[in-house]
Amino acid sequence: MGIEACDSRGMVFGMASTKVTVTLDQDQVKEIRALVAAGQAGNVSAFVQHAVSVALYDAAGWRDMLEDALQQTGGALTKKERAWADALLTPRERKRGAKKGKAA
């Protein structure tokens, strides 16, 4: 995945765009605007477009790495293996009254 050419306002050439609304943490928006003000990003939209591109590229890389690892170790997970992994990786709710860092 390559980076598209941008003009001085951060507009990306060669690709269709769709306007969407996203919710970001106030501190993140503050940091993005500071980068724009410092000239390190064309504008907020250009920064977010780049960040999304990087995240999609990373996700594709992890997916390829996982598929390769699965092929090297016997193929796709069985239902039993998937259930074990899901149980292990699913966040558990803390029990009521349990205090963080308290010994039993």
CA-based nearest residue to 24, from 52, 61, 54, 59: 52
Burial of 53 (0-12, 13-18, 19+ CB in 10 A): middle
Percent of the chain predicted with pLDDT > 90: 55
Instruction: Tell me, yes or no, whether 82 lies in a domain.
Output: yes
φ/ψ (deg, to 5) at 6: -120, 150
Higher pLDDT, 13 or 83: 83
Which pLDDT belongs to residue 61? 92
Q: Quick one: pLDDT at residue 16?
A: 86
Q: How many domains does the chain have?
A: 1
What band does 3 get if pLDDT is binned at 50, 70 and 90?
Answer: very low
Does some domain include residue 103?
A: no
From CA 19, how far away is CA 47, in angstroms rounded? 14
pLDDT over threshold 90, residue 2: no
**Domain with 48 in it:** 26-89
Residue-wise pLDDT for 42-75, tens only, equals 999 999 999 999 999 999 999 899 889 988 998 8
